[in-house]
Amino acid sequence: MTATIIDGKAIAATIRQEIAAEVEKLTGQYGRDPGLAVVLVGEDAASQVYVRNKRGACQKAGVSSFDHNLPATIPQEELLEIIRDLNARPEVDGILVQLPLPDHIDEGIVLESIRPDKDVDGFHPVNVGKLVANRASLIACTPLGIIELLDRMGVEIKGSNTVILGRSNGGHAKDQTGGHQTCKN
């Protein structure tokens, strides 16, 4: 078996061009740009980089970005109110709450407060359930991105053994499996 180097940057550039073209079509069809609300709570450096990159990607693709940079001390109820407002806004098509959240905020309650059809991370229990049941739903971006890379490289994954290291919701949750899981696809 020979190794294949995947040029992720080149594939990502192609995908970004495809998305920009699709966004242009959607804007023409609906009379407005698609909109993504990004909620960042606190000053986590890695989260700030991730969110900054998402905002830049939105701008390049023509997606409106609605930014909410909130202090780590925000009360949970105030955060939930912001999410309720974003759920109700028709110009907000997707909501991303950057994880991790501060310790005083119940992550589960926050993720459940996002409308499933606006949950771009696919973490809402409805979306997780649909994924497990193999029904159409929003899928978490990291595994979907990996599958897209493999598909574009022509790598057949059906029937293969897969190892997932550091599995979590958002890269931070405590893993109850000792840090890894082995799955069959």
Active site members: 54, 98, 121
The answer to whether residues 99 and 169 touch, using CB atoms and an 8 Å cutoff, is yes
Distances (CA, A) of 69 to 41, 59, 97, 113, 140: 6, 17, 10, 18, 22
Largest separation between any pair of C-alpha atoms in the chain: 54
CA dihedral (129, 16, 10, 170) in degrees, to 10, reads -30
CA distance 65 to 78: 21
Angular region, 156: left φ>0, alpha ψ -120 to 50, beta rest: beta
Distances (CA, A) of 153 to 1, 47, 111, 148: 16, 29, 33, 9
CA distance 65 to 57: 10
